[in-house]
Structure 1
Amino acid sequence: VPADSPMHRISELQLGLTLSQTGKMDEARQHLKALLESDPDDIRSYLAYGAVLSDAKDYAAMAANYDKAVEVIGAVPKKTDWTIFFQRGIAYERLKQWDKAEPNFKRALELNPDQPQVLNYLGYSWVDKNMNLDQGIEMIRRAVELRPNDGYIVDSLGWAHYRLGAFDEAVTELERAVELRAGDPTINDHLGDAYWRVGRKLEAVYQWNRALIGDSDDVDKAKVKEKIANGLPPLEKDAQNTAKKDQALPPPAPPAPAPDKKS
C-alpha cells in the first residue's frame, strides 16, 4: 500500500497483528510500538498494540498501554471509545487488581450500555466473586439475549447458575454452550462439573476428558485430572473452601430463581 494512501496506516496496523498471529511476537511488538510513537494520538494504534500484548499475556504492559490511551481520549470520550475502557478493565482484572478493573467495565457500559461483551464480562466477574449476584446474572442474561449464539456468553450464564447452586439450569445452558463451542476446554470442564452435581457422573468424566484434549492452557489440567480420578468434593466441603477463599467478601446470596425458558 503506497505511503500516501489513506489505507497505508491501517495496512501497517494489520501487519503488526498478522505478525503476532503467525508467532512473530517480538517483531509484532516492535512494529506496533514504532507506529504508536509515530502518531501517539491514533487510538487505533493502542487497540492493535494492546491486542498483541494481550496475546502475549503481558497484562502489565497492556494496562500501561490503555492508561496512555485514556489520557489521549481526554475527559469526554466518544461512544466508540468503550473498547478502550473494556480492554483496560480486562488488563487490570488479569492483574488481579479488581479495584481498578471494575470502574473501567462500568465506564465502558456508560458509553455503550448494551454491549454484550462488557455485560458478560462484568456480570460474570461479579457472580464469580459472590458480589452483586442478582444484577450480575441479569447482565449475563441480557448479553445472551443480544448474542444468543455466542457459546462463551452462554457458558457464562450456565456457570453463573452453577455458582448460585442452580445445577439443573446450569446443565441446560452449558449443554447449549457446548453445542455452540464444542471444542472449548473451559466449557467442557464447566459442563463436567454441572453433570457431576446433578448425578450424571459418567457424562461428567467424559466432559472432563474432553477438556484435556489439545494444548490449551485455558484450564488447569492438573485439577481436571484430579476430578477425573476422584470427582468433585461434597457440596459442604465446597462451601467451606469458598468461604476461605472469599473471606473478605460478603457471604453468597441465596440462589437466584431459574430464568424463563426461551425457545
Structure 2
Amino acid sequence: MDRWKEGEADLVEALKLRPDEPELLNFLGYSWIDRGERLKEAMAMVERAVAANPRSGAMIDSLGWAHYRMGDYKTAVEKLEQAVELEAGDPEINNHLGDAYWMVGRKDEAVFQWRRVLTLNPDAKIRGDAERKLASGQGPQAPKLATQ
C-alpha cells in the first residue's frame, strides 16, 4: 500500500470517530476531488464542511473545485469567486479561479488570475502550472475523471 492510501485510510478512520469534523471532511473530500475520484461523495463531504464553516475560503474553494471537476463551470466560478474574496492571497484558489474562468470563456480574466498566481509566492507545482498555461496561451483541458 502506498503512503497516500495509508494516510487516506487513517483519514477515513478519523472521520468515523468525528464524522462532522469540517477540517477532516474538507481534507479528504478535496483530496478525492483533486484526483477526480469519488466526486459525489467528496462533494457531499465538502458541502458539510462549508455548512459548518461558511467563511472558510479553503473549504469554499474545495466546493468550487468539485463543481469544476464535475463539469459545472458556471457554479465553479461562483464558488471560486467567493473563495478568492475570503482568501485573496491564496495562489491555489486563484489558480483554480483562472481555470474556471477559462472554461466558461472568460479568457482575459483567466490570464489575469494566472498572472496574479505568480505574484502570490506559489509553491513550485502551482507556479509551474500557471507558467505553463501562460506560456502556451492555452488553458486547462476539461478534467478527465476517475471513478465516481
State TM-score, norm by structure 1: 0.52
Matched, 1:183 2:56: no
* Map of 1:122 onto structure 2: 28
Distance 2:141 2:126 in 1: 20
Q: Structure 2: 5+ residue runs without aligned partners? A: none
| Paired amino acid for 2:23 | Q
Cα deviation, residue 219, structure 1: 4.4
State TM-score, norm by structure 2: 0.89
Distance 1:216 1:140 in 2: 24
Distance 2:141 2:10 in 1: 37
| Paired amino acid for 1:182 | A
* Map of 2:138 onto structure 1: 231
Equivalent pair of 2:64/2:75 in contact (CA under 8 Å):
yes
Distance 1:233 1:143 in 2: 27
Distance 1:112 1:205 in 2: 41
Equivalent pair of 2:22/2:48 in contact (CA under 8 Å):
yes
| Paired amino acid for 2:139 | L
* Map of 1:132 onto structure 2: 38
**Helix, strand or coil at the partner of 1:220:** helix
User: Which of 1 and 2 has greater Rg?
Assistant: 1
* Map of 1:145 onto structure 2: 51
Distance 1:233 1:220 in 2: 13
* Map of 1:42 onto structure 2: none
| Paired amino acid for 1:181 | E
| Paired amino acid for 2:99 | D
Distance 2:5 2:58 in 1: 25
The structure, 1 or 2, with the larger RCO (C-alpha pairs under 8 Å, 6+ apart) is: 2
Q: Give deviations 1:200-257, integer Å, cap 9, x for gaps.
A: 010001111111014331643232122123121554xx54xx6xxxxxxxx444xxxx
Q: How many residue pairs end up in the alignment? A: 146
**Helix, strand or coil at the partner of 1:204:** helix
Distance 1:218 1:114 in 2: 33
| Paired amino acid for 2:132 | E
Distance 2:19 2:49 in 1: 11
Cα deviation, residue 135, structure 1: 1.1
RMSD: 1.8
Equivalent pair of 2:95/2:126 in contact (CA under 8 Å):
no
| Paired amino acid for 2:15 | L
Equivalent pair of 2:30/2:62 in contact (CA under 8 Å):
yes
Runs of 4+ in structure 1 off by over 4 angstroms are none
| Paired amino acid for 1:232 | G
* Map of 1:260 onto structure 2: none
Q: Percent same amino acid among aligned pairs?
A: 47
| Paired amino acid for 1:139 | M
Instruction: Note closer, same or farther for the CA distance 1:119–1:215 as it changes in structure 2 (3 Å cut).
Output: same
1:1-263 to 2 correspondence within 5 Å?
Answer: 97-217=3-123, 219-229=125-135, 230-235=137-142, 239=144, 251-253=146-148
Q: Give deviations 1:175-214, integer Å, cap 9, x for gaps.
A: 0000000111111000000000000010001111111014
Equivalent pair of 2:91/2:121 in contact (CA under 8 Å):
no
